[in-house]
Amino acid sequence: MSALETLLLVLAIFGVLTGLSVIVLSLIWLERKFLGRMQMRMGPMHVGPFGLLQPVADAVKLMAKEDLLSSLVDRVVYWVAPLAVFVPTFMIWVTIPVARDLVIRNLDMGLFYIIAFSVLSIVGLVTAGWASSNKYAVLGGFRAAAQLVSYEIPLILAVLGVAMLAQSMNLEEVVNSQSTVVYALVQPLGLVIFFIAGLAELGRTPFDIHPAESEVVGGPFVEYSGAHWAVFFLAEYINTFAIAALTVLLFLGGWLFPGISGDVSALGVLVFLVKTYLVILVVFWIRGTYPRLRIDQLMSLGWKVLVPLALVNVVITASYMFYGWSAWSLSLMSLAILGAAIWGLSKRMRTAPTPEYTVKLYVPAPEASNAG
Amino acid sequence: MSLSLVVFYLLGAVCLGGAVGVVVSRNVVHSALLLLVSLMGVAGLYLLLLAEFLALVQVLIYGGAITIIVLFVIMLTRVQEFRAMKDNPQWPLAVVAALAMFVLLAAAMIKGAPSETTRQSVSFEELGSSLFTQWAVPFEVASLVLLVALIGAIVIAREGGEE
Amino acid sequence: MLEDYFRQYGLIAIFTAIAVILPGSLLVVSWLLSFLRIRPSKPNDVKRSPYECGMELIGDRWPQFNFRYYMFAILFVVFDVETIFIYPWAVQFKQLGFFAFAEMLVFILILVIGWAYAWNHKALEWR
């Protein structure tokens, strides 16, 4: 490796690091401000102009805060779990391009690489819950695993649809193949599945079943405070940005925009960032609008609606590609199926009876209550 | 010593260290996490053998799915009751099984040792084309096996759930 | 080409190291701050008790694991393995011809049978 190459590599890695930290800080501010305005509040105001320095102040506070460790915590796993969540979310940035040729490494199996590593952070959440030795945390960990695992399947299948259209898993090629029409128009069904499953992977409203404050008081993170919690927080925001970035790259044409030459990197980055922030605003908008799903609704939506839709998406895309049907036919089929699914769902939501619930109250065994 | 050999020994140490940790650790959840470390080491070994896709599959299936299953199984069995478990009466059997496995693998390795010079990767495209033409029947059989696994799991779960 | 391959994954290894060091250093810095007396550390029994909505701990630390979580994990493994089989096909099914195409349709059909079985036996239900 030549000296120049090494220098470029170091620069690229530093670029990713600073880029991601600035993005995380901006996202924290944006979320608070945006949610505030949606709820007719002002949001952060006092630290810096427009409260812009609020996330920095938060970060300092988190670092300098007393670390409250419960005496029952399993120390080693408690320390490792935030790292186990963070590492995969950071690693997928190796292969996410922000403009043409502006990527640390363009892997030929980029899409598969991202999918494979994103699954790893689920393990971190389960172990975080377990290490906390707290009922809410353990329950939150279980919920996290069950939910993330269920939505991973539609996510993988939706990505598969894009890989089929582009005939490649290289993210740069995926974007380049959208130079005439973006895949959001070719495959609207895929976009919807990917976005819903992505939201669920992030554990954001309406899919925030595992950190649900009113049910499991923060889920796996109950016992985490200070810097440990900051690491989870960081991972969550990097993940939010990653899902939005992937939505843009896979379905909205990445750094391509009609009339803007993609050859100029700076313009490309700008287009990419604008698109990604718009997608993120939609994510925040959804958070400010919808209530949380019940866990049984969540699982039904994943397995009974999204999985079959994703499979149908794969099959129609395959047929369209294989038989070389005309360009608009896939869009039409996609839209028709999407419409039918929405119609069926809304009809069911209006007529379906509330499922019978058998709530089992926790009755401690006599010896257990004495021991505790 | 070439760089790849150094990496190989490092990864081997990760695998073995993780595996020894799995057995030695007194806490079952720690064992499960060490198993994850060991499995990641195996993924690294696959990468070293130029099996890119296999390595990623290892991360996805073993690192993600199987580890979660293992953790769930451990939590299903109420870990806290087995915290101080020191010994297992079946250990002689385990030793015999492990030795037999070792002999089998060692024999296979000696007999079919790949030459170091003809190392080459099978591209992802070649993998796909051979899987879907030459190995079409095993491929379909694999899907049937998975179907059976799914049905089996559901049947067992129902029996467990409705007693 | 081979060199390029190893460089690629060497890069990922470096990236992994950074991914560990970055949050690790965050934790360590925060820990070091406690020596500078910037970060307070005054634990007491109440602070060190596990969170239980302000009450004393009732019963076990770990709640009884519910079987239904396990069910979904099993479903995930099966579906996960099946979907990765589709990947090698997806990026080149046009070249592979009709046989491979039909083959994959059969494969997906078998997958759907399993899925329908699961639904029919209420395995997709959250009970």
**What are the φ and ψ backbone dihedral angles of A356, each rounded to 5 degrees?**
-70, 135
* ∠ Cα A178 A182 A184 (to 5°): 140
Q: Tell me the per-residue pLDDT of B18-49, one tens digit each, with 9 for 90 and over.
A: 999 988 887 888 888 999 999 999 999 888 88
Which residues 96-135 of B have a C-beta within 8 angstroms of C?
119, 121, 124-125, 127-129, 131-133
Residue B163 confidence (pLDDT): 39
ipTM of the prediction: 0.87
B65 falls within a domain: yes
Could you tell me if residue A218 is left (phi over 0), alpha (psi between -120 and 50 degrees) or otherwise beta? left
Identify whether residues B3 and B73 lie together within a single domain. yes
Show which of B49, B81, B113 is a domain's final residue. Answer: B81
Give the three-class secondary structure for A102: strand
**What are the φ and ψ backbone dihedral angles of C117, each rounded to 5 degrees?**
-60, -45
Q: Is the pLDDT of residue A155 over 90?
A: yes
B70 falls within a domain: yes
C-chain residues near B127 (CB < 8 A)? 88
Q: What is the mean pLDDT of residues B43-63?
A: 88
**Domain with B49 in it:** 1-81
Q: Tell me the per-residue pLDDT of B89-115, one tens digit each, with 9 for 90 and over.
A: 788 898 899 999 999 999 988 887 766
Residue B110: partners with Cβ closer than 8 Å, 6 or more residues away = none
**What are the φ and ψ backbone dihedral angles of A102, each rounded to 5 degrees?**
-105, 80
Whole-number Å distance between alpha carbons of A358 and C126: 11
Least Cα separation, residue A21 to chain C (angstroms) = 11
- Give the residue from chain A lying closest to B61, CA to CA: A116
A25 vs C: CB within 8 A: no
Q: Which fold has domain C65-127?
A: Methane Monooxygenase Hydroxylase; Chain G, domain 1 (1.20.58)
| Number of domains within chain B | 2
Residue A370 confidence (pLDDT): 47
Q: What is the mean pLDDT of residues C6-15?
A: 80
B157 vs A: CB within 8 A: no
Confidence of residue A371 (pLDDT cuts 50, 70, 90): very low
Provide the residue ranges of all domains of chain A, joining segments of one domain with +: 65-348
According to DSSP, the residues that pair with A260 across neighbouring strands are A257
Whole-number Å distance between alpha carbons of C2 and B54: 17
B51 falls within a domain: yes
Least Cα separation, residue B32 to chain A (angstroms) = 10
Sign, CA dihedral B58-C111-A249-A323, equals positive
* Cβ contact A219:A136 at 8 Å: yes
CB pairs under 8 A between B and C: 127
Q: Tell me the per-residue pLDDT of A20-79, one tens digit each, with 9 for 90 and over.
A: 888 999 999 999 999 899 888 888 888 888 888 888 888 888 888 888 887 778 888 888
Least Cα separation, residue B2 to chain A (angstroms) = 16
Looking at mean pLDDT, say which of A191-195, A344-348, B128-132 comes out highest: A191-195
B8 falls within a domain: yes
Show which of B27, B58, B81 is a domain's final residue. Answer: B81
Identify whether residues B77 and B1 lie together within a single domain. yes
